[in-house]
Structure 1
Amino acid sequence: MFDPSDRPRLFSLPPGADFATELVRGLKDRTKDQPPEAMARVELFLNTRRMQRRVEAVFDQMGAGFLPRIRLITDLADPIERIRLPRPIPALRRQLELAELVGRLIDSDPSLAPRSAIYDLAQSLGALLDEMQAEGVTPKDIAALDVTDQSGHWERAQRFLNIVTQYFDPSNDLPDSAAVNRMALANRLNLWRDTPPDHPVIIAGSTGSRGTAFQLMTTAAQLPQGAVILPGFDTDLPEQVWDVLRSDVRNTEAMQGEDHPQFRFARLMEKLNLQPDAVRAWTMTPPPSPSRNALVSLALRPAPVTDQWLSDGPKLPSLDQATQSLTLLEAPSPRDEARAIAIRLRQAAEDGTTAALITPDRMLTRRVSAILDRWGILPDDSAGTPAQLSAPGRLLRHIAQLRVNGPTADALLTILKHPLCHTGADRGQHRLWTSELELFIRDKGVPYPDLEQLMSWKRADEAKNWLAWIDRCLLQPGLQGKQSLSDHVGQHVAQAEEICAGSASDDAAELWNKKAGETCRAQFEDLIENAGFGGAMSARDYAGLIDGILRSAEVRDRDAPHPHILIWGTIEARVMGADLVILGGLNEHSWPDVPPPDPWLNRRMRQQVGLLLPERRIGLSAHDFQQAIGAREVWLTRAERSEDAETVPSRWLNRLTNLMTGLPQTGGPQALQAMQDRGRSWLAFGQALETPIYAPQAPRPSPAPPVTARPDELSVTNIERLIRDPYAIYGSKVLRLRQLNPIQHAPNPMHRGTVIHRVFEKFVSDTVQNALPLTETHLIKVAQDILSSDVPWPTDRIQWRVRIEKIARWFVEAERARQSAARPVLFEKKGQMQVADPPFTVSAKADRIDLNDRGEALVYDYKTGTAPTKDQQLQFDVQLLVTVALICEGGFSDFHPRGVADARYISFSGDGREVPAPLQDCPPEKTYAMLVKLIDAYRDPNMGFTARNRMHRDIFGSDYDQLSRFGEWDASDTAVRIPVT
């Protein structure tokens, strides 16, 4: 295939070239005059399985013929040699072994990391071991590092890394897969050196960023029939810049040029002692846009020679031609960016254009996929979906967390409403009961449900078997202590299958069906097989392990994706081709991404032993960018703002726009403006797509229902609400709507008030009925007993107890004074009276009523918040005044005092205080007359229930603000009467 040569063979394809197509075309051209079997003698090494499939597909498109022997760089052993090599231990086994070591490290020094990080640390440690194998770094190299001037953390990390030397021991009968690959590489390189193959050996598509790939490429290039084909080789880079890069290669201390896209090729040429002009073109096919490649090449020049922008920039051809198929879309938000991309992909699908979204931002790809789903377009996503986000993955993770925390209302309903829960018989009945049980839990406020509480549900007798199944599967307490991984897995799988089967079936097949179920099952089978290496662990550690395992597994849906709409990672961008390429998420921390923190070796230690530096990752991303931007039509997209902050454009996009802005003589600013205008037009399409049809804003409502539909009874609390927010009475009493309580009840002011009321009521009752002493000690004991039974939230229980302790002395001293003047006789007493004609019932519940020696009542109302002032009581907060009027009207049965001597609020806020009711300014008869006037006013059919009529503050919310469409109007708007029939 190749003519004899006295120097290594390096070939290249330019940025933007369809690598697979041009690779096959070059092979076909070089074997066209040879017998058909010549192609079968070619040994072709590619870097990814997806690339292999693409090359095979291109061969199929070019007609019948032999295929070359295609191998992957990561699988260097042939079938016969593989038998001789030791069998690698499973990756999961190694992770479990490393996790146990990391767990012991954290136990010995908890300041290093929380236990929840064990499996992430084990995964990062495994990645470090693989990298050491690939780069030929041994534990001896790590041990030889001088860390005397480093912090103690790195010294501990160095000592810990000495523990994992077993994976590098040549005598180890069970090496990991990276060690086996290293052995296979050594064997193949030795074989090639000892007996050079006489058939063509080609390494294609790799940049040589990894040590194993670099060694393979340098050796193959020097074989008699060997060659290396470089993707995205920059032929526009002048020799002076190559010299700068090669100088950086030789200067191993600085390594300043590693972030340049062509640095790896400079390193390869330096190793092979070749000049850039020795790198020949693999095919004569020109790139889609040579002028654009020249522009990008200049924009990405290394920092030391950026001054060449001034000298070489004006020599560029017209930038209008270079950028005529280039669109720059700078969206206000990630949502706008995703929407514009999805619209363009939809047009590509309708036109039959092959379009690819290339981005490392998985959140962006999910947004785009979700929008495409609206139009029934399923993109071909090279990354698939993480198993943890699939339906079975979510259920398995929910169950693992349930085993940690025990049942909460939220966790219980999350599992019961999962699509894979109760998939056996009677699923329809299960869904109905789940819906009704949810309303019960919301109404009763059951934060930590148990069977006893659920049996008070009205459907309990009818759903007895179903509730027993819930109790068996979902209401068991969280696991305490540790148990073996085998026990964890067995119990977890059994529980998941029983939950999936349901209460009336044993069939749990749905859990493991379809591609997602098969993927999750394979992970659990692997876990069961290697569980013996996991040791004992807590339920929390086990849940972390499951989350990590499912996160690392990918689900590729069997549904046929759209053949022309593709989503690629940056690796695929190096070797794949499309008519339209969209480079999405072009912001710093995305392109390039932030290198993950390395808890084991810092940058200096990595450089000293020869491991990959963060700059190399940036250089690879830069090469991906340069390769992808050379396509026929390209979009460059970014969001100007993320969810919480402004973003910074990618450094390469910044360089490109800055260069164009500074080249007015070649039309740079005008070309940049045209790129941005094209992007804005697509943003406008997206915004128009989601712009709602104009609807006039709602007025401030004052609905006027018929008198017969209006309430004929209200509590004193609702009387106050009728004054402040009549619309709330309309919503609750006329429409009979009420706010849906949250599933997971959290402590709120209402609940706090109820509990504290009970504390002081019980305390005062004990002192009167049981003659117990009026002491702080007894008050605090009562508080502890009631808080323990009524407050299931430990933190709030402590906070409320502290609050009671703070006012205990004040309350006891004040209570002694109160009881010296009168005797408590009624607690939480209900009463009612008839007002106006026809009769209207007003009801009240008095917190406490005392009786003095003269037979007069003293009324007290407990307030956990701030008590209302005198003016507020006269205008709005009439609760206590109405209660006094009700007593005077004989509204409390069997209680007829000679009058009311005093009424006051006892406020528990701050240090505690009493606020008297203004009985002198508003005696009972005046309050009664006010009630009659208020009730008669709302018996007028023309009187509407105005929304937020006299709210205490505008910032206060109402349960019915959404119903009244508050926000489309405000309190300054005039209310509009709306007749209701």
Structure 2
Amino acid sequence: MFRDPGPRLYGLAPGVDFPARLVEGVIRRLEGQPPEALARVTIWLNTQRMRRHVREAFLKRGAGFLPRLRVVTDPGQDPLLTGELPSVSKLGRRLELAVLIDHLLQAEPDLAPRQALYDLSDSLANLMDEMRAEDVAPDALNHLDIEGHAAHWARTRRFVSLVGQFFGDEVPPDSEARLRLATLTLLRAWAENPVPDPVIVAGSTGSRGTTALLMRAVARLPQGALLLPGFDFDQPEAVWQELGVGAEGIQEDHPQYRYDHLCRSLDLRPVDVRRWDQDGAPDPARGRLVSLALRPAPVTDQWISEGPELGDLGAATRNLTLIEAPHPRAEAEAIALRLRQAVAEGKSAALLTPDRDLTRRVTAALDRWALKPDDSAGQPLLHSPPGRLLRLIARAMGRRLSADQCLTLLKHPLTFSGSERGPHLRLSLELELELRRKGPAFPDSVSLRDWANRSKDPFAVLWAERLGAVLDALAAVTPAPLTELIATHRRLTEMLARGTGDEGEGQLWAKEAGQAAIAAMEELAKEAPAGLMLTPSDYSALSDSVLSRGQVRSLIPADERIVILGAQEARVVGADLVILAGLSEGIWPAKVPPDPWLNRKMRMELGLLLPERRVGLSAHDFQMAVGAKEVVLSRARRDAEAETVPSRWLNRLTNLLDGLPETGGRAALAAMRARGEQLIREGEAVSAPIVTPRSGRPSPRPPVAVRPNRLSLTEIEKLIRDPYAIYARHVLKLNPLMPLRPSADARLRGEILHKVPETLLKRGLPETVEAAEAALLAVTDEVLERDVAWPAMRAIWRMRMEDLARPFVEGLLTAGGQTVSMEKKYAIEMKDLGFTLVGKPDRMDILPDGRLKIIDYKTGSPPSPAQQEAFAKQLHLAALMANLGAFPELGPHDDIEIAYIRLARDLKTVETRLGPEELEKVLNGFRRLILAYREPGRGYSSRRAMVETRDRGDYDDLARYGEWEITDPARPEDVP
């Protein structure tokens, strides 16, 4: 196949269909030879995806022999090369490290948080893999220059020293160790008996040490050759020299650096790299433009000298589009629209991006046209239904679930996923209404059983029993060995999924996602070391980390016209349209994760991967992809947090174009942006919501016959301040529910602080201050323990009651009088108005002089006299009820004292005395209010006189508050 002397290096320009051109070159070089000659060819490829594409390219040529297609990682799976030495999986090695780190953290807890246990072991395992790939011995760590880093290195070394014990010959190797061992064995066999048949390594850049070893050995075989993807034939010799030994040092962040390094290791120069074929790049003019734009920083002055020689830049960028969207959603919509257009044009399209959030947005947008792209990465296991349920259960272990967390479990699509799924959904809805009306904040088996016994649904009792058993079992989980926690995790998840049945797991392990989930759980159980003790929260963090590495790939065929690939898969793209998305710093190139073990200087001394090398590999992916026939470059100007910075490569390209107005660069850049703006506008038009007219400030006027004729004291104030709330509750019959996530809010605080004095007075007030104070605090503890499920809020409210306890009981003991009623409901019918007034005063006392005192407790500020005059009529109307004889045990009173008491340290009290004249005034005002709403033309206006504009009402959303301002006039409207 190869007649030239070795080492042989060939290259293909960026942007080509690499698998197709590889196959064409192999076939052309074997012309005239018998068909079986192809079967003697061995081609080593960089990924399984590349092997699949190359195989398809051979099959498209019709029946015939195929070469041996292997992946560079295959030797690690060959028992003939690795021997019978038992191996350890990646997960197993990480869990072994986790045990060692756990022992270290037990001895020195301040080294790291325990929840980082698996992340630390994973990071150490990655470091160990990198050391094996780059042939760095553990002893090299002892010879590092740690001047200026002694304190940090002393802490770090405790962890890093753990990896040394895994490099011995007697230790079962992990996958990286097996790969290097097998590769060295293969190279020794080749050295003793060189392979006479053609051997090609194609598609790899040699970025990892083990792969680079294989490539150098193949290049020296009698019929060996390397085929390099994305080799820049336009780059001058002087620039190649600058990459490795330039005045500014090694330029590892350049996209072609790895090829310069490879050539030097073979005693070749980049000029010795030959073209694989004579077809060239899809767009040579654009290739020259990108090559110049990506020159190393020390020689960017060449833009000035070589830029004008690029020729007509309008022609070079004719098939380039630049999308600069205002936000990620607009970027996704524009990309989805362009992919849809490509399908309509009969073109194949590929989206390349390392941003998985963006790919999910694009996939969701494509669903609008029933297009399902072929995503090479699949779906993250944690985002699949079984993955989400496993995560929810793991996070619930060892905890009492709040109402919203319980409902999250109940509404999961795999909960009770057997035959009783329908009844389960019905009961889940009923339970949600119960929890949002009455609580409790933390449901358990007792509260569920009580609710089920009151339900009329025959399925409710059994359903509540099984659900309560799961909730109680979750709360009962305690620290245990990892093996036991894994078994508990799986058992409880299966219990929830199967529902009321005694066997089975419902649909939990069904389909591709379920199979991937059960495989991950079984692997975790198989590899779990017995001696690793974890708390439930530690286990949750570990299981999250393990499951997050799983992927689900659907067996349902996707639309092959649209593929979504990672950035590193640019070399396998052969699509008509290529979209490079997420071109912002921190995404592409990705933000280099902090290394907790070694700084840059240490890595350089050891010969490990530097951050610049990772950037250089990403730069090579960019150069490969941007050379395609038609390309769209895309980014969002801001993300959810702040303005974004354009990718350094996109920045270089746009700056170069903008600086070459004489050759049409500035106009070409404007045209690229104009095409992108057009896509953004069309994408926004497609996704624009249906515009509905803004609502005015409502003031519904229902028929007089359906208007309420019975209201409570507090509702009268609501009628004055927010009449629309009365309309919604009593005419529309809409009752507000508690928030889905219960919290210790002001409403609950008020209920608690009302119950405490009520309970104390019902039991009898001790005669001394000290005894009364102690009794009050004892009642407080009892009420808080019973009705407040949040320990932190119990402590805070207990402290508040301690502050006010003594002044409160002192006031009770010195005030005199006798408490005659507390929290008792009364009603009085005013026949002339056809209206019933209902009230439940907090407390009523008969003073020593025979007067009645009506008391209302406030947790906030009591209403001022001005507010009482205009709005706060609760106690005034209670006094009116007393005057009219609404309290049978008291009889009518015409001299009444009302008092608002603020339950706080200062125990502020606002008192008012009402005589016959004042009571007459209250009665007349009340009559005017009720009669006003008997007028057909009177509407129930929303937010008529709120205390503050920022106050929120229960029915503001129904009134569409926000579409109108508080200063807008009400819009009366007759309603049925």
Instruction: Return the TM-score normalized by structure 1.
Output: 0.96
1:84-124 superposed Cα distances (whole Å, 9 cap, x missing partner): 25231122211211111222233333333322211111111
Does the CA-based 8 Å contact 1:831-1:844 persist in structure 2? Answer: yes
Distance (Å, rounded) in 1 between the aligned partners of 2:678 and 2:52: 37
1:120 alignment partner in structure 2: 119
How far the C-alpha of 1:141 sits from its partner, in A, is 0.8
When residues 476 and 434 of structure 1 are mapped into structure 2, their CA distance, relative to the original with a 3 A threshold, is: same
Does the CA-based 8 Å contact 1:836-1:936 persist in structure 2? Answer: no
Matches within 5 A, 1:106-117: 106-117=105-116
1:274-315 superposed Cα distances (whole Å, 9 cap, x missing partner): 222211111111211111111111111111111111111111
How far the C-alpha of 1:775 sits from its partner, in A, is 4.5
Residue 96 in structure 1 maps to residue 95 in structure 2: yes
2:950 alignment partner in structure 1: 955
1:846 alignment partner in structure 2: 841
Matches within 5 A, 1:212-227: 212-227=210-225
1:807-838 superposed Cα distances (whole Å, 9 cap, x missing partner): 3343334333323xx33322113222233624
When residues 830 and 718 of structure 1 are mapped into structure 2, their CA distance, relative to the original with a 3 A threshold, is: same
When residues 649 and 618 of structure 1 are mapped into structure 2, their CA distance, relative to the original with a 3 A threshold, is: same
Return the letter of the residue paired with 2:424. Answer: H
Does the CA-based 8 Å contact 1:774-1:812 persist in structure 2? Answer: no
How far the C-alpha of 1:936 sits from its partner, in A, is 0.4
When residues 374 and 156 of structure 1 are mapped into structure 2, their CA distance, relative to the original with a 3 A threshold, is: same
Return the letter of the residue paired with 2:385. Answer: A
Q: Name the SS of the counterpart of 1:228 in structure 2.
A: strand
How far the C-alpha of 1:509 sits from its partner, in A, is 5.2
The correspondence for 2:594, drawn from 592, 597, 603, is 597
1:878 alignment partner in structure 2: 873
When residues 109 and 919 of structure 1 are mapped into structure 2, their CA distance, relative to the original with a 3 A threshold, is: farther
Residue 473 in structure 1 maps to residue 470 in structure 2: yes
2:402 alignment partner in structure 1: 408
How far the C-alpha of 1:273 sits from its partner, in A, is 2.2
Return the letter of the residue paired with 1:346. Answer: R
Q: Name the SS of the counterpart of 1:962 in structure 2.
A: coil
Matches within 5 A, 1:886-905: 886-896=881-891, 898-905=893-900
Unaligned segments of structure 2, at least 5 residues: none
Residue 625 in structure 1 maps to residue 622 in structure 2: yes
Greater mean deviation of Cα atoms: 413-422 or 790-799 = 413-422
Cα RMSD (Å) of the superposition? 2.0
Distance (Å, rounded) in 2 between the aligned partners of 1:22 and 1:221: 20
Does the CA-based 8 Å contact 2:721-2:946 persist in structure 1? Answer: yes
How far the C-alpha of 1:511 sits from its partner, in A, is 1.5
Q: Name the SS of the counterpart of 2:942 in structure 1.
A: coil
Q: Name the SS of the counterpart of 1:860 in structure 2.
A: strand
1:357 alignment partner in structure 2: 351
1:63 alignment partner in structure 2: 62
Matches within 5 A, 1:782-801: 782-801=779-798
Distance (Å, rounded) in 1 between the aligned partners of 2:318 and 2:665: 12
1:755 alignment partner in structure 2: 752
The correspondence for 1:459, drawn from 455, 458, 468, is 455
How far the C-alpha of 1:406 sits from its partner, in A, is 3.4
1:194 alignment partner in structure 2: 192
The correspondence for 2:659, drawn from 662, 673, 680, is 662
1:3 alignment partner in structure 2: 3
The correspondence for 2:490, drawn from 486, 490, 493, is 493
When residues 96 and 625 of structure 1 are mapped into structure 2, their CA distance, relative to the original with a 3 A threshold, is: same
Q: Name the SS of the counterpart of 2:765 in structure 1.
A: helix
- Aligned residues: percent identity? 46
Does the CA-based 8 Å contact 1:231-1:575 persist in structure 2? Answer: no
1:239 alignment partner in structure 2: 237
How far the C-alpha of 1:702 sits from its partner, in A, is 0.8
Q: Name the SS of the counterpart of 1:492 in structure 2.
A: helix
Return the letter of the residue paired with 1:547. Answer: D
1:310 alignment partner in structure 2: 304
2:428 alignment partner in structure 1: 434
Distance (Å, rounded) in 2 between the aligned partners of 1:853 and 1:538: 62
2:226 alignment partner in structure 1: 228
Distance (Å, rounded) in 2 between the aligned partners of 1:793 and 1:302: 60
How far the C-alpha of 1:349 sits from its partner, in A, is 2.2
Residue 211 in structure 1 maps to residue 205 in structure 2: no
Q: Name the SS of the counterpart of 2:10 in structure 1.
A: strand
Distance (Å, rounded) in 2 between the aligned partners of 1:161 and 1:688: 55
Q: Name the SS of the counterpart of 1:45 in structure 2.
A: strand
Does the CA-based 8 Å contact 2:833-2:927 persist in structure 1? Answer: no
Q: Name the SS of the counterpart of 2:845 in structure 1.
A: strand
Does the CA-based 8 Å contact 2:580-2:632 persist in structure 1? Answer: yes
How far the C-alpha of 1:764 sits from its partner, in A, is 4.1
When residues 467 and 900 of structure 1 are mapped into structure 2, their CA distance, relative to the original with a 3 A threshold, is: same
Distance (Å, rounded) in 1 between the aligned partners of 2:501 and 2:226: 63
Length, aligned pairs only: 973
Distance (Å, rounded) in 2 between the aligned partners of 1:161 and 1:640: 40
Does the CA-based 8 Å contact 2:402-2:742 persist in structure 1? Answer: no
Greater mean deviation of Cα atoms: 962-971 or 705-714 = 962-971
Q: Name the SS of the counterpart of 1:595 in structure 2.
A: coil
1:571-601 superposed Cα distances (whole Å, 9 cap, x missing partner): 2112322111111111111011112222222
Q: Name the SS of the counterpart of 2:398 in structure 1.
A: helix
Q: Name the SS of the counterpart of 2:575 in structure 1.
A: coil
Q: Name the SS of the counterpart of 2:821 in structure 1.
A: strand
The correspondence for 1:446, drawn from 424, 437, 440, is 440
Residue 167 in structure 1 maps to residue 166 in structure 2: yes
How far the C-alpha of 1:548 sits from its partner, in A, is 1.6
How far the C-alpha of 1:762 sits from its partner, in A, is 2.8
Matches within 5 A, 1:730-749: 730-749=727-746
Distance (Å, rounded) in 2 between the aligned partners of 1:317 and 1:690: 40
Residue 830 in structure 1 maps to residue 825 in structure 2: yes
Distance (Å, rounded) in 1 between the aligned partners of 2:473 and 2:609: 49
How far the C-alpha of 1:532 sits from its partner, in A, is 3.9
2:632 alignment partner in structure 1: 635
1:158 alignment partner in structure 2: 157
Greater mean deviation of Cα atoms: 893-902 or 914-923 = 914-923
Distance (Å, rounded) in 1 between the aligned partners of 2:76 and 2:896: 100
Distance (Å, rounded) in 1 between the aligned partners of 2:526 and 2:151: 38
When residues 361 and 124 of structure 1 are mapped into structure 2, their CA distance, relative to the original with a 3 A threshold, is: same
How far the C-alpha of 1:960 sits from its partner, in A, is 1.2
When residues 68 and 810 of structure 1 are mapped into structure 2, their CA distance, relative to the original with a 3 A threshold, is: same
1:833-875 superposed Cα distances (whole Å, 9 cap, x missing partner): 2336242111111111121122101121110011111111111
Return the letter of the residue paired with 1:243. Answer: Q
How far the C-alpha of 1:765 sits from its partner, in A, is 4.2
Residue 373 in structure 1 maps to residue 367 in structure 2: yes
Distance (Å, rounded) in 2 between the aligned partners of 1:694 and 1:416: 35
When residues 484 and 661 of structure 1 are mapped into structure 2, their CA distance, relative to the original with a 3 A threshold, is: same
2:257 alignment partner in structure 1: 263
How far the C-alpha of 1:134 sits from its partner, in A, is 0.3
The correspondence for 1:697, drawn from 677, 694, 697, is 694
Matches within 5 A, 1:641-652: 641-652=638-649
Q: Name the SS of the counterpart of 2:841 in structure 1.
A: strand
Residue 862 in structure 1 maps to residue 857 in structure 2: yes
Distance (Å, rounded) in 1 between the aligned partners of 2:635 and 2:912: 63
2:134 alignment partner in structure 1: 135
Distance (Å, rounded) in 2 between the aligned partners of 1:394 and 1:667: 53
Does the CA-based 8 Å contact 1:831-1:891 persist in structure 2? Answer: yes
Q: Name the SS of the counterpart of 1:566 in structure 2.
A: strand
Return the letter of the residue paired with 1:527. Answer: L
1:460-500 superposed Cα distances (whole Å, 9 cap, x missing partner): 77322222211222333524543233322223223222222
Does the CA-based 8 Å contact 1:328-1:637 persist in structure 2? Answer: yes
How far the C-alpha of 1:912 sits from its partner, in A, is 3.1
Distance (Å, rounded) in 2 between the aligned partners of 1:909 and 1:366: 52
Q: Name the SS of the counterpart of 1:923 in structure 2.
A: helix
How far the C-alpha of 1:760 sits from its partner, in A, is 2.4
Does the CA-based 8 Å contact 2:76-2:180 persist in structure 1? Answer: no
Distance (Å, rounded) in 1 between the aligned partners of 2:77 and 2:955: 73
